[in-house]
Amino acid sequence: MNARGANGRDADGRGTNARGTDGRGTNGGPAGARAASDPLGAPTARRDGRAKVTGAARYAAEHTPPGCLWARSVGAGIARGRITAVHREDALSVPGVTAVLAHDNAPRLLPGADPTLWVLQDNRVPHRGWPVALVVAESPEAAREGAAALHIDYAEEPHDVLLTARHPELYTPETANGGHPGVRERGDFGAAHAASAVRVDGTYKVTGLHNHPMEPHASTAYWEDGMLVAHDSNQGSTDVRNDLAALFGLAEDQVAVINEYVGGGFGSKGTTRPVVVLAAMAARHTGRPVKLALPRRHLPAVTGHRAPTLQRVRLGADAQGRIAALEHEAITQTSTVKEFVEQAAVPARVMYTSPHSVTIHRVVALDVPTPSWMRAPGEAPGMYALESAMDELAVAVGADPIELRLRNDTEREPDTGRPFSSRHLAECLREGARRFGWRADDREPAVRREGNLLIGTGVAAATYPVYFMPSHATATAAPDGTFTVAVNAADIGTGARTVLAQIAASALRTSPDRVRLDLGDSRLPAAPVAGGSSGTASWGSAVHKACTELTERLEEHDGLLPPEGMSVGADTVQEATAPSPYARHAFGATFAEVTVDTVTGEVRVRRLLGVYAAGRILNPVTARSQFIGAMTMGLGMALSEGSTMDPRFGDYAERDLASYHVPVNADLPSIEAHWIDEADEHLNPMGSKGIGEIGIVGTAAAIGNAVHHATGLRLRELPLTPDRLLRDLALAGLLPVAVPA
């Protein structure tokens, strides 16, 4: 364990009210001594803040090229079957409607890309809401009216949309999302479990969850001299460009995808979505620019979601709670279009000592929308199950839940036996306990009452892997002493623009305000997606490399620079693909205090506090926002977000923001994020780990564990809505004293 980390020095002592102007102690990355004025690690205001608070920032649907048309997509009205006829007459007779695209007249696409992009190509309906037509019109109003007037006949086939633990077609996938093996086994789980003094066996249920970024997916596309240009809301426009080139049979330099500003994505914009394909098809078909903004209600069917999971965790431990046997089985669903397996059993391969272990995924392909990435795929639901089970184990052995986790801490990744490049889980737990005011002597459930409220506190651990993908970047020095750095990164709200400029300035030994940073355009040096919390590491390494080389070249250069300046390009294919002897993960601990209203069954969070060890924090301002933002999403997952697969119709019932309850401001009285100053030389030149997703991991379990502490009830099913609480409170005799039965 690293001495600095062990001291648990946090990066800055501030919680919710932190202004963007302070933040101490973030100096000192892997390289050790850095200049006090190093822009890297300094609290730096968001570069695009002014554009965003004045409304000047332009998002994908906020371009209206001359002659632009508006499109509205139409989703399939059945859960499975075939289109037998498209009756266009009524739609085309709506004044202003110029075209109706469907499988019988849409431009042909080339096969090969993601099958969810294979839209309007054949008459198959794989799930309700699958795009089956696009109405294009001279105004948004006409497009809406035209879409309503379009009649489509279907031959319906029986559908199968319900996930059950006993579904006959469940199978074990080769790999789950992220390329993780579907199954891993070590030792002899059965024997070790049978021989254990203490056993815990829990089945945890997480419903379907939707990303719902505030900006719905949108594209404005046009063709110009054989070139396809699209303003598209996505998390990585190099990948989108490549997909479009493949689908439309174009060279990569015949496609330009621009994503200068992106209104959030949380994974749902991490892969190319049908929106941009439809807009491009319509623009080709009509010969005019076309703007398509997906109606909010279409998002759940078309832009991916977190598939529901049914997870069973079995733990076998000794009397002190040291785990000998661990089994995590994650059952989930995918669509018939494409296999996507939420890797929920993967964190159990990382977290705790577990000599005998089985981690397995099982999946069934149903007639449902295709699931995809949603913030911390795998870890978010998986750690809900595992960390709830750990809490159950703590109760079973009578240990404090923090102490129990410390007893199961490990220096090597159990699954691979590799040492961790750094692991400061224990420090996060201790530091969090101190800041939160954790009381190990107050763990008896259901004894803290304030009137009709039951009060409880809970804790859970968090983890998220370090990913690192190849990227390109260029750095150019101008004769006037300014620099331009170009990398096709995406700033989806993470602060990438700001942090990359800091990285560049640090390597260039200049101040960030002398660095112009260009991102969000596929014509810039190719770069990977903003996903897997890997953006800063991937893009930043390329930026760092280009800037470092440029600095060296400048040092060697005599005299004035030529008018075009001096440019250096870099790519990190080698660095990113080199295998590491280390297991690399960020860790953290989340603490929650909840109230459970015994009158209404409402669970509300009073305080949420997270402490993270995620390498070097490059910008405390934007990092804090990332942490608390993800924790907020975790709060939603715990308490209010959830969507029901409608067995009759085959769609998610809660498709709008009035019925799918993302947290509102009033749900969060107090939220704090802190971090451990973690030095890790085995990551990247900046010494950073990803920070965008770990905040959601562990939060739901911490809240669920707090509910147990408050009530003694273990619900094992999210979200913790009043209907579920009331039922169990009544069974437990915990209704208010004022309400005689």
Partner 1 sequence: MKPFAYVRAHSPAEAVQEYAARPGARFLAGGTNLIDLMKLGVESAQTLIDVSRLPLDRVESGPGGALRIGAAVRNSDLAAHPAVRERYPVLSQALLAGASGQLRNVATTAGNLMQRTRCLYFQDPGKPCNKRLPGSGCPAIEGVHRDLAVLGHSEACVATHPSDMAVALAALGATVHLLGPDGERALPVADFHRLPGERPERDTELRPGELITAVELPPPMGPSLYRKARDRASYAFALASVAAVLDVRDGVVHDVGLAFGGLAHRPWRAGAAETVLLGAPATPAAFAQAADAELVHARPLRDNAFKVQLARNLAVDVLSALAARAAGAAA
Partner 2 sequence: MAGKGARAGSTRQRAHPEAPPRAEHRSAVTLRVNGEERTLTLDHRTTVLDTLREHLGLFGTKKGCDHGQCGSCTVLIDGRRANSCLLLAVAQDGARITTVEGLAAPGPGGETLHPVQQAFLDHDALQCGYCTPGQICSAVGMLGELAAGHPSLVTAPGSRPGLTAEEIRERMSGNLCRCGAYAHIVAAVQDAGRAPGDAAGRPDGDPRHLQDGATP
Q: Please report, to the nearest 10 degrees, the dihedral formed by the alpha carbons of residues 405, 406, 408, 413 taken in order.
A: 100
Question: How many residues touch partner 1 (CB under 8 A)?
Answer: 42
139 counts as binding partner 1 under rule CB under 8 A:
no
For partner 2, which is the closer residue by CB, 61 or 529?
A: 61
739 counts as binding partner 1 under rule CB under 8 A:
yes
One residue of 10, 38, 114, 145 binding partner 1 per CB under 8 A: 145
One residue of 406, 649, 682, 717 binding partner 1 per CB under 8 A: 649
Residue ranges of the alpha helices (H) in 408-525?
Answer: 425-436, 496-508
CB of 566 to partner 2, least distance (A): 33
224 counts as binding partner 1 under rule CB under 8 A:
no
Q: How far apart are the C-alpha atoms of 101 and 288, rounded to whole Å? A: 14
87 counts as binding partner 1 under rule CB under 8 A:
no
The span of 39-47, 144-152, 493-501, 547-555 binding partner 1 (CB under 8 A) equals 144-152
For partner 1, which is the closer residue by CB, 197 or 657?
A: 657
CB of 145 to partner 1, least distance (A): 6
413 is catalytic: no
Residue ranges in 441-480 that form contacts with partner 1 under rule CB under 8 A: 452
Beta strand segments in 398-497, E: 449-450, 453-465, 472-477, 483-486
315-333 in b/e form (b: 16+ CB < 10 A) is bbbeeebbbbbbbbbbbbb
Q: Which does residue 77 touch among partner 1, ligand FES, partner 2, none (CB within 5 to 8 A, set by kind)?
A: partner 1
Task: Please tell me which residue in 392, 431, 693, 717 is annotated as part of the active site.
Answer: 693
One residue of 600, 670, 681, 732 binding partner 1 per CB under 8 A: 600
- 84's tokens: 């037998």
One residue of 449, 553, 604, 606 binding partner 1 per CB under 8 A: 604
143 counts as binding partner 1 under rule CB under 8 A:
no
Q: How far apart are the C-alpha atoms of 637 and 374, rounded to whole Å? A: 11
For residue 21, give Cα distances in angstroms to 17, 44, 351, 659, 691: 11, 7, 35, 38, 20
On whether the CB atoms of residues 227 and 198 are closer than 8 A, the answer is: no
For ligand FES, which is the closer residue by CB, 20 or 264?
A: 264
One residue of 92, 661, 682, 717 binding partner 1 per CB under 8 A: 661
Residue ranges in 363-402 that form contacts with partner 1 under rule CB under 8 A: none
Contacts of 169 (CB under 8 A, 6+ apart): 364, 365
- 686's tokens: 């900046």
For partner 1, which is the closer residue by CB, 476 or 721?
A: 721
Residue ranges of the alpha helices (H) in 150-196?
Answer: 189-195
611 φ, ψ (degrees, to nearest 5): -125, 130
SS3 content of the chain, % helix, strand, coil (to 5): 25, 25, 45
Nearest to 379 by CA among 462, 285, 446: 462
Q: Which does residue 4 touch among ligand FES, partner 2, partner 1, none (CB within 5 to 8 A, set by kind)?
A: none
One residue of 20, 107, 178, 264 binding ligand FES per CB under 6 A: 264
Q: How far apart are the C-alpha atoms of 379 and 167, rounded to whole Å? A: 24
214 counts as binding ligand FES under rule CB under 6 A:
yes
User: How many CB atoms lie under 10 A from the CB of residue 597?
Assistant: 18
Would you give the binding string for ligand FES spanning residues 496-535, x where CB under 6 A is met?
----------------------------------------
CB of 447 to partner 2, least distance (A): 27
Burial class from Cβ neighbours inside 10 Å (0-12, 13-18, 19+) for residue 101 reads buried
Any idea which residue has 């190319």 for tokens?
Answer: 272
Q: Which residues are catalytic?
A: 693
Contacting positions for partner 1 (CB under 8 A): 77, 141, 144-145, 148, 452, 598-602, 604, 639-640, 644, 646-649, 653-654, 656, 658-659, 661, 663-667, 719, 721-723, 726-727, 730, 735-736, 738-740
Contacting positions for ligand FES (CB under 6 A): 214, 264, 493
